[in-house]
Structure formats: C-alpha cells, structure tokens
Amino acid sequence: MRLQEKLDLNVISPEQSKPRKKFKTEKWIPYLFILPSTLMVVAFLFYPIGTVFYYSLQNYNLAAPFYDSFAGFDNFIKIFTEDKFFFPSLLTTLKWVVSQVGLQLIFGMIAAILLNKTFKFRGLVRAAAFIPWAISGVLASVMWSLMYNEHMGVINDMLMRLGIIHENQAWLANNSTAFISVVIAELWRGIPFFAITLLASLQSIPEELYEAARVDGAGRWKSFIFVTIPQLKNTIILTTLLRVIWEFNNVDLIFNLTGGGPAGSTTTLTMYIAKQAIHGSNFGYGSALTVISFGILLTFAIVYLKITRFEREEG
C-alpha cells in the first residue's frame, strides 16, 4: 500500500506539466522583442568595426588591386616607422582637441550661467544662443568660408574699419592664421553644446545650497567653486568626454574650409585617414590608421573616467 502511494506521488499528470512548458516559452519572449534591435546593432555597428579591423591587416588598395594580399602588421609597422605625416597629424589633432574642448567648456559655462539668470526675453535669448548647434557642419562651413573670404569677407571689412588691419588677409590660406581661423569657426558651433547641458544641470542645483553658502560668508566666486562646480562635476566629465571624441573625429568643417592645408597645418588624424582611404583609395592603410585612432580614444576614455572618478562619491 505504501509503495503504491509513492508511485502515485511520482507520477505527474499532463495537466500539471503544461504550466512548466508555458513558463519555458515565456522566458524567451523578452529576447524575441530585443532581437530586431540586436540584429541592427550587429549589422550597423559591430560588423563595420570588425570589417575595419580585418582590412587593417590587409593590403587593400583599389588603385592597385594586383597587390592586394594579407599584410599582417605591416601597415602598423609602416605607420610608426616610415610614415612622415602620422605624428604631425596626431600633434595637430591634439592641439585641435585641447583648444576646442577647453575653450568650448569655458565659454559654454559662462553662457550657461548668464542664461540661468532671470531677465526679460530670456526664452528668446536662449533659443537664439542655441541656433549654432542646430546648423549643419556643411552650412556652417559655407558661411564661415564667405566670412573669411579675402576679397568680400565681412571679417576683413570689419577689422579694416576698426583699424586693426590695413589690407585684406587670406585667413584660410595663410599658414599662420589658418588653424586659428578654423578653431574660431568650430568654437562658434560648439559652445551651445556645453551651454545646453550645463544649463540643464544648473537648474537642478538646489537653491538651499547657495543660501547655506551665503550664510557661511561665501561670495559669488566661492559659491561657484565650492557649490556649482561640485554639483556639475559629472556633467562636465561626461560632456568633455563626448566632445573630445566628437572633435577628435571632426572632419566636415576642416575639410570644407581648408582641406587640411595650407601645407598640412590643419591636417588632423581624421583628415589624414580620409585622404588615405577616400582620396588615395588605400583602404588597408586607412583602416590601420582608424584602428590606431580607435585605440587612442578608447585608452583616453578609460583613463579619463578612472582619473576623474566619474559617478563616484567623494569619501
């Protein structure tokens, strides 16, 4: 009798097994929903990245297809040992990124603080201040190219009227002024990015912190240093990181204004990659340069986030 009861307990009816099968089916439903997005990420992100890494190990030149073959690390060895333009372009990129991100952060902070004040027509002024960020790079390039024009540019006309210069200047064709001219043009377009993000963070700072600082005898400058900056820390870290990556890869404005000239004074690493891969049709060598560029940015991002202690509370 007892043996029969144990056998009955171990037997599972078909009705009891249905919920378990249903549970196994429901477990896969969330993965089916994210499957289209996963496939798109693989198709449009990981596959192109993998293709670049693959071609970086190949001799792949559309102008000389008979030389196409597996190169191994020859492209990378050539870049670091024989390429006379790699390190100068990397140095130009460093100057470009530091000047752009530093100046954009400073002027963006000033603009955000001013726009955070209460004044008449504040909404209209805010909208006008953000217009440069909405303009495309090609349109901004055309506009600044006309402004810098040697014969009919408004910049020459304005400076001559003020008595600063006495003859028209070819700002984009002069080796000593081309880089500064492009920096100013990109600065005008990039300041609103910092102004928008910093303004949003400024509005989230509790007013009680400033009141407590005033009670302790802190003036405007000390309130800015000990209240505003710590509260904006994570926003500043994130925006500067994003802007470094953006400016490192920026090519549209430089390409349209100077094309990397004169005499390579505005040729950044990204411009050099474009010349090698697109104009020179040397996709293997251009892919190797791209892999190095990717490695530089990845290393910088990891070290930067580690040093700045992003999203970590101070002890």
pLDDT category at 315 given cuts 50, 70, 90 is: very low
- In three-state secondary structure terms, 242 is helix
Q: Are residues 6 and 136 in the same domain?
A: no
Residue 32 sits in the same domain as residue 115: no
Please check whether residues 193 and 98 belong to one and the same domain. Answer: yes
Query: Measured between alpha carbons, how far is 183 from 185 in angstroms, rounded to an integer?
Result: 5
18 and 142 both lie in a single domain: no
Q: At CA 72, angle to CA 68 and CA 75, rounded to 5? A: 75
Residues 92 and 215 placed together within one structural domain of the fold: yes
Residues 35 and 156 grouped into a single domain: no
Residues 24 and 155 in one domain: no
- Span 276-304, average pLDDT: 89
Residue 274 domain-assigned (yes or no): yes
Q: pLDDT at residue 104 above 60? A: yes
Shared-domain flag, residues 95 and 30: no
pTM: 0.82
Q: What is the spatial distance between Cα 213 and Cα 231, in angstroms, rounded to a whole number? A: 14
Provide the pLDDT for residue 205: 87
Residue at a domain's end among 55, 71, 92: 55
If asked whether residues 252 and 213 sit together in one domain, one would say: yes
Beta bridge partners of 33: none
- In the three-class reduction of DSSP (H, G, I as helix; E, B as strand; rest coil), residue 70 is classed as strand
Q: Which two tokens stand for residue 51?
A: 């293709």
Total structural domains within the chain: 2
Is residue 41 in some structural domain? Answer: yes
Q: Is the pLDDT of residue 23 over 80?
A: no
Which structural domain range is residue 43 located in?
2-55
Instruction: Please indicate, yes or no, if residue 61 is contained in any of the structural domains.
Output: no
20 and 138 co-located in one domain? no
Is 276 a member of any domain? yes
Q: Given pLDDT bands bounded at 50, 70 and 90, which one contains residue 63?
A: confident
Q: Give pLDDT tens digits for 204-230.
A: 888 888 888 888 888 888 888 888 888
Whether residues 168 and 88 fall in one domain:
yes
Q: How far apart are CA 89 and CA 265, in angstroms?
A: 9
Assigned token pair, 227: 């209240």
- CATH of residue 108: 1.10.3720.10
With CA atoms as reference, report the closest residue to 69 among 59, 78, 61: 59
pLDDT given for residue 246 in this prediction: 92
Task: Report, in this order, helix, strand and coil percent for the chain, each rounded to 5.
Answer: 70, 0, 25
In angstroms, the CA 291 to CA 302 distance is: 17
Tell whether 134 is covered by a domain: yes
What pLDDT score does 25 carry?
66
Is residue 201 predicted with pLDDT exceeding 60?
yes
179 and 255 belong to one structural domain: yes
Question: Among 55, 75, 93, which residue terminates a domain?
Answer: 55
Cα 55 to Cα 71: distance, rounded to the nearest angstrom: 9
For residue 259, is it within any domain? yes
User: Worst-scoring range by mean pLDDT, 180-184, 210-214, 309-313?
Assistant: 309-313
Residue 41 structure tokens: 């990420």
